[in-house]
Structure 1
Amino acid sequence: MKSFFKNLFSKDKDDIDPMKKFLVAGLGNIGNEYANTRHNIGFKILDFFAEREAFSFETNKLGATATYKFKGRTFILLKPSTYMNLSGKAVKYWMTKEKIAPENLLVITDDINLPFGTIRLKTKGSDGGHNGLKDIQQQLGTTVYNRFRFGVGADFSKGKQVDYVLGEWSDEENGKMKERLERSVELIKSFGTAGVNNTMNTFNNT
């Protein structure tokens, strides 16, 4: 961990203050066949964010990126193009390129252990069997990084987990989605402006 971040902040005089710069990585899989699946909630939240705040993503190395500025903070938003299992490669690259402090990383992921729409922010933890988080942990060499877990529920029978997370949202879930996406965008903005602890107190389990 120390070796990876050793020279992260050798910044030029014109660089943005690294403590006011954040990387928000929404996890998902590229391709139209995955667009409306539960596993792609990270992409869905960031796409909703872009639509609501009128900014756009552009194709870059290892992912699509966008920059959003709010209350003196700069948010680098990332949708990795590596597919879920190699998400850490994209996260590590953009942390290094943009000189993002480890505590200013936020990873958005689906979570089958939470009921649909439940949102929970954590500062550390295991990968919980999630391949995207597993690769991020391996690439960064730590389990200490902020993750925003969006509940997708666990309405599947034994052995059907993959089919469930790669399945599309139900009509009932889609009907509730907009409000949950709006709440998710507010969480991201709060993370950068109010700090992780205040954001956890305000948003967890709401």
Structure 2
Amino acid sequence: MFSFLNNHNGNEQKTYLICGLGNPGSSYENTRHNVGFKAIDLFAEKFSLKFKKKWRAEYAECEDEGNKYIFIKPMTYMNNSGEAIKKFAKKNSVKAEEIIVIYDEMSLKVGRLRLRLGGSAGGHNGVKSILQYFGGADFYRVRIGVDHPGKGADIADYVLSDFTLSEMALISPAVSASVDAVLMLCTKGCDAAMNTFNGTVPNDSGQPNQETKK
């Protein structure tokens, strides 16, 4: 059991479920649809964690600044992401508002970030699955822009294709910034995180360039 510590805001320790969406397997590793997995991998690197397997997911846990974090990558494939997330939430008594989901967003330019609480699936099948398993309850979303392929393009082919080299130059710092955004959300609140990261294009170090905000 973990001890109850005081977090940044002086409250009892909270448990946050940080979920990155993607598809399992090396063939999907560098696709647009897997930026959520890349963020979770970066959390594991940051906190020197090793993944374990349970409930059709890879997961790792740690405590930091008075909070407990459970990082998960559902291994159910994108369209059934909600199954594993629901299981972890139930077994750890995590409320919907303590769940943060990181995923790709076609309505944002490549590398831009957007945080919010609640909303629709926006055509994203992974988010749609989570909403179905949680009965439409609100959870936090951290969306990483991958841009839209344009009218008439095959969406499935697009999100399941690899980033170009020029896109990777924007995506890598964006994934790094998404990690910072999640930690700020958990320690300083959603407003602080949104004001800092929403609409930004992070620089090479993953820090938000405020002048690039829309």
Same fold per TM (> 0.5)? yes
Q: Flag the 1:153–1:32 CA change in 2: closer, same or farther, 3 A.
A: same
Q: TM-score, normalised by structure 1?
A: 0.88
Corresponding residue for residue 53 of structure 2: 59
1:65-80 matches, cutoff 5 A:
65-80=59-74
Alignment pair present for 1:105 and 2:99: yes
Gaps of 5+ in 2: 6-11, 201-214
Shift of 1:104: 0.8
Considering Cα pairs closer than 8 Å and 6+ residues apart, tell me whether 1 or 2 has the greater RCO.
1
Q: Matched residues in 1 for 2:2 and 2:174: separation?
A: 38
Amino acid at match of 1:56: K
Corresponding residue for residue 198 of structure 1: 192
Q: Matched residues in 1 for 2:109 and 2:63: separation?
A: 32
Corresponding residue for residue 131 of structure 1: 125
Amino acid at match of 2:23: N
Corresponding residue for residue 38 of structure 2: 44
SS of 1:115's partner is: coil
SS of 1:29's partner is: coil
Contact 2:110 2:171 in 1 (8 A): no
Identity across the alignment (%): 38
Corresponding residue for residue 108 of structure 2: 114
More helix by share: 1
Corresponding residue for residue 170 of structure 2: 176
Corresponding residue for residue 26 of structure 2: 32
Amino acid at match of 1:48: L
**Number of residues of Structure 1 aligned to a counterpart in Structure 2:** 194
Q: Matched residues in 1 for 2:40 and 2:94: separation?
A: 18
More displaced stretch, 151-160 vs 164-173: 151-160
Q: Flag the 1:135–1:16 CA change in 2: closer, same or farther, 3 A.
A: farther
Amino acid at match of 2:70: I
Q: TM-score, normalised by structure 2?
A: 0.85
Q: Deviations over 1:30-69 (max 9, x none)?
A: 1111111000111011112212332121111120001122
Amino acid at match of 2:22: G
SS of 2:53's partner is: strand
The alignment's C-alpha RMSD in Å is 1.8
Contact 2:40 2:71 in 1 (8 A): yes
Gaps of 5+ in 1: 1-12
Q: Flag the 1:14–1:184 CA change in 2: closer, same or farther, 3 A.
A: closer
Q: Matched residues in 1 for 2:36 and 2:166: separation?
A: 19
